[in-house]
Structure 1
Amino acid sequence: MLLVVHAALTWVLAGLILTIQIVHYPLFSRVGVAGYAAYQQEHIRRITWLVAPLMLAELVTGAALIFRPPPFLSAASISLGLALIVLIWLSTAFVQSPAHSRLTTGFDPVWHSRLVKTNWVRTLIWLVRSLLVGAWLLLGMS
């Protein structure tokens, strides 16, 4: 059951990051200069309430798999999954969050571009994690 919950969290986050990366972040440039700072601040407030609990739950369930591993999964595979979560958290903390903070003072095309480009790292890691947890579930079904 733990693995199923973990996989569901990863897939929800992968879908969310794809939506943000492909739809939401590119549209930041269309908001307009006058209301952009307030828009960005509200974006941060709202997205945090959605993403933070999901990311925390993914981290907790990923760590729990280390202590309660399904018998068909290797420790190396579970460790890889957890390492990818840590990379996502590091990217969020040290790359995307600072870019968002810089954009709270107003639209800056350089910071916007940096946010869109660097967020591909998180997007790709979550997609890899989606494939990994999918493979885990398939192993459990065989």
Structure 2
Amino acid sequence: MADWYPWLIAAHLAATLYMAGVIWFVQLDHYPLLACVGRQDFVRYETSHRLRVTCVVAPAMLVEAFSAAALCHWPPRGVPGWLVWLGMGLVFVNWIATAALSVPAHDALSRGYCERTIGRLVRTNWVRTVAWTARAIVALALVWPSIALATPSEW
């Protein structure tokens, strides 16, 4: 095993679990609370949210995507290839859902408060919530054989 490989596995697992936690927070707390912001301050709030959330999620999403791609090229020992590719496919689901569903909703909300758009954002975010939850399960399944098959000198 190459010296960098455990770091790849660790980065992949950390980024994926982090994003799974973030998306559940967003789904159950953050997005539903958009309806409580109030119309007067909504555009300022939404603009601030978009700037801040990018700093929270972009680094982890990039680490997750690049590490998932690397694992497709260098799959962990003892892991079926389909599982690695399932994980990569779920990365695509999350990125496409973000670009096609979440970003347009936030674009609309940056122009003003709209209860229907907030409702649509909460509903369509379930796609990402389910996909990131599945990614977390896949990432754990990818890591387990690496840990179980490693000798103490490889830790």
The one-letter code of the counterpart of 1:61 is S
Give the Cα separation in 2 of the matches to 1:4 and 1:49.
21
Judge conservation of contact 2:35–2:118 (CA < 8 Å) in 1: yes
Question: Given the alignment of the two structures, is residue 116 of structure 1 paired with residue 101 of structure 2, yes or no?
Answer: no
State the SS of the aligned residue for 2:113: coil
The one-letter code of the counterpart of 1:117 is R
Q: How many Å apart are 1:74 and its aligned residue?
A: 2.0
Question: Given the alignment of the two structures, is residue 130 of structure 1 paired with residue 143 of structure 2, yes or no?
Answer: no
Judge conservation of contact 2:97–2:128 (CA < 8 Å) in 1: yes
Unaligned runs of 5+ in 1: none
Partner of residue 95, structure 2:
89
Give the Cα separation in 2 of the matches to 1:138 and 1:58.
17
Q: How many Å apart are 1:55 and its aligned residue?
A: 0.4
The one-letter code of the counterpart of 1:68 is W
Give the Cα separation in 2 of the matches to 1:132 and 1:68.
16
Q: Using the TM superposition, name which of 67-76 and 105-114 deviates more.
A: 67-76
Q: How many Å apart are 1:73 and its aligned residue?
A: 1.6
Partner of residue 24, structure 1:
30
TM-score, reference length from structure 2: 0.88
Partner of residue 52, structure 1:
58
Q: Between Structure 1 and Structure 2, whose CA radius of gyration is higher?
A: 2
Which protein has the bigger helix share?
Answer: 1
Q: How many Å apart are 1:24 and its aligned residue?
A: 0.6
Give the Cα separation in 2 of the matches to 1:127 and 1:60.
18
* Aligned with residue 82 of structure 2, among 46, 51, 76: 76
Give the % identical residues: 37
State the SS of the aligned residue for 2:40: helix
Partner of residue 35, structure 1:
41
Partner of residue 113, structure 2:
107
TM-score, reference length from structure 1: 0.96
Q: How many Å apart are 1:4 and its aligned residue?
A: 2.1
Count of residues in Structure 1 that have an aligned counterpart in Structure 2:
142
The root-mean-square deviation of aligned C-alpha atoms, in Å, is: 1.0
